[in-house]
Chain A
Amino acid sequence: MAAAVEVIAAPWNLGLRPPAPGREPGTWRAPRALLSAGLEARLRPARVVELARPPYEFDAQPATRVRNGVTIREHALRLGEAVQAALAASRFAVVLGGDCSILLGCLLGARRDGRCGLVHLDGHSDFRHPGNYDAGSSLGSAAGMDLALATGRGELLLTHWPVVGRPLVADEDVIQIGDREDAGMPPVTRFTAQQIQRIGIADLGGRIITHLERRGLDRAWLHLDLDVLDERVLPAVDSPGRPGLDFSQLAELVSTLVGTGRVVGLDVAIYDPERDPDGVYAAPIVDCLASALTPLATVEAHA
C-alpha cells in the first residue's frame, strides 16, 4: 500500500453541458469546497497539488464534437503528469474534481507505469460515443463519455495518448458499479445499483476483489462519481438518481477496495457546490472519504 496520500485538485467543469444558457457548471468549485470542509485536515496529505482551472468554452472547438474537447486533452495531459508524479513518489493519489472527464488524466498518469485496471463507481455508465448516439445533433459532454473514451471509443483527440496509446484501459480490466441504466451498456463486468441492493456491500467488495485477482490486476484506479450515491443523500450533482448507495455503504466499499493494496489512487467527481448553496453536503462527503481512507492518513501520521 502507498505510504501517504497526495491530493491533486482538478477544478474543472469541461465535460458538462451548461446548466443554463451562458452559465458554467459549478463542479470546478468542488476541490476547494471539500478541502475547506476539512478534507485536508482529515487526510493529512503529504502534498496538495492545485492545478489551474481550465477555461470553459460554450461553443464548439475545431474538428471535435466533444464540448471543450481540445481543452480536455490539454488538461488531461497535465493531470496525468501530476498523477504520475504522485505515484512515482509512492503516494496514494486522491484527485478532487471536477467532472468525470478527469478520469482520462488519472488513468493516463496511472498507466505510465504499466497496466492498470479501472473500478468505475458511477450512477451512469458514461458510455456515450459516436457509435451509439447522434454526435451531429448536439455537442457531446465528455462527462457522459468517460468510460467510452477510456476504453478507446471516440475521437482520436481523446482516445490516443502519448506513451500509452489506445486504450487507456481494456474492456476486460474494467468493473462498472452502480449504474441504473438498461440501454447502451458497455461490454465490461458490471454490478448495477439494483444488484448491489440485493447482494450487499460486503459481497460486492468480495466480487470486485475476485475479479481483480482473476485478471491479474495488481494495480487499479478507482473512479468515484458521487452520483453513485442515492439522490436522497446527495442531490448536489449534475444528474442525481435512485436507487444508490448511502454514505456508509460507499465508505465501506472504498475502504475495502483501498485495503487490498491494489488501488493506486482515486478520483472524486461531480459534486457541485453551486447546487449546495448552504454547504450541507460537503461535510458528509468529507466524512465518507476520510473514513474510507483513514488507514492511509494514519500511515502518514506515523511515518
Chain B
Amino acid sequence: MKTLLADGPSDLYATEMEQFGRLAGHWVTQITYYPTDGSPARSVSGEWEFGYALEGRAVLDVWQWPGRQELPDTGRAPDQECGLCVRIWDPRLRLWRFTFHGTARGDLVHMYARQIDDEIVMERAAGSDLVRWAFADITADTFHWRNERSTDGGHTWRLDQEVNARRLR
C-alpha cells in the first residue's frame, strides 16, 4: 500500500488541494458533544491525522477517540471510533467530494465541501435537515471544527459537536 499516501499535493488543482492539505500532520483534539435532549455537554479526547494520498490528488484523515493516552490497556473498545475520511477535489463540480467511513458503528457519510471565506464548509442533506461540518480559525498549530444542524433550510444552525485541535507535529 505504498501508493496510498503521498508526500504532497499533485500539481493538478494545487490551489484547491492546499485548502485541506494545510492540515497535514498529527493533531490532538478535545471533542465536545452538545446533546439535543438538554443533558450536559460531555467531552472526550481524540487524535486527528491528516495527510495527502493517491499521488497527491486526495487528502485523507483518520479520526480517533479517545486519544492514545486515554486508551485502555485492552485497546480501543468496539464502540470507540477510528474512522477514515476521504476528500477528493472534483474539478467537474468545483467542490470536494467527501466520505467518512466509521468503524465503530458502520457510519458512511457523504458530503460536499468548498472553502467559503476563511472556513472550509462541508454539507449534506439528511432527510429534511442540513448538516454542516466546518473547519474554522485555522492557524499553523490550531484549528476549530464544528458540527451543526439546521432544521430550517440553513436559516439557523444548532451546534451539535465541536473540536478544538492542537498540532502535535
Contacts and interface: CB of A to CB of B under 8 A. Distances in A.
Contacts, number: 68
Contact of A63 (B111, B121, B128, B152): B111
A223 to B, nearest CB: 22
Contact of A156 (B109, B121, B152): B121
Given A131-B152, A135-B125, A155 B130 contact: yes
Contact of A135 (B95, B111, B128): B128
Contact of B128 (A136, A156, A162): A136
B130 A130 contact: yes
Interface in B148-168: 150, 152-155
Contacts of B95: 73, 157
B92 interface: yes
B103 to A, nearest CB: 20
B127 A136 contact: yes
A77 B127 CA distance: 26
Q: Mostly helix, strand, loop or mixed at chain A's interface?
A: loop
B126 to A, nearest CB: 8
A132 B153 contact: yes
B93 A63 contact: no
B123 A157 contact: yes
B80 to A, nearest CB: 26
Contacts of B153: 129-132, 135, 153-154
Given A63-B125, A64-B125, A135-B125, A162 B94 contact: yes
A130 B128 contact: yes
A74 B93 contact: yes
A165 B94 CA distance: 12
B93 A70 contact: yes
Nearest to A62: B110
A77 B112 contact: no
B93 A73 contact: yes
Given A62-B110, A136-B127, A160 B116 contact: yes
Interface in A106-152: 129-132, 134-137
A17 interface: no
B130, B150, B153: most-surrounded residue (chain A CB, <10 A):
B153
Contacts of A161: 94
A44 interface: no
Interface in A142-190: 153-157, 160-162, 165-166
Contact of B123 (A73, A129, A153, A155): A155
B116 to A, nearest CB: 6
B26 interface: no
Interface of B: 92-95, 109-112, 114, 116, 121, 123-125, 127-130, 132, 150, 152-155
29 contacts: A63-B110, A63-B111, A63-B124, A64-B112, A65-B127, A73-B93, A73-B95, A74-B92, A130-B125, A130-B128, A130-B150, A130-B153, A131-B152, A131-B154, A131-B155, A132-B153, A134-B128, A135-B153, A136-B129, A153-B153, A154-B153, A155-B123, A156-B132, A157-B95, A157-B112, A160-B116, A160-B121, A161-B94, A165-B116
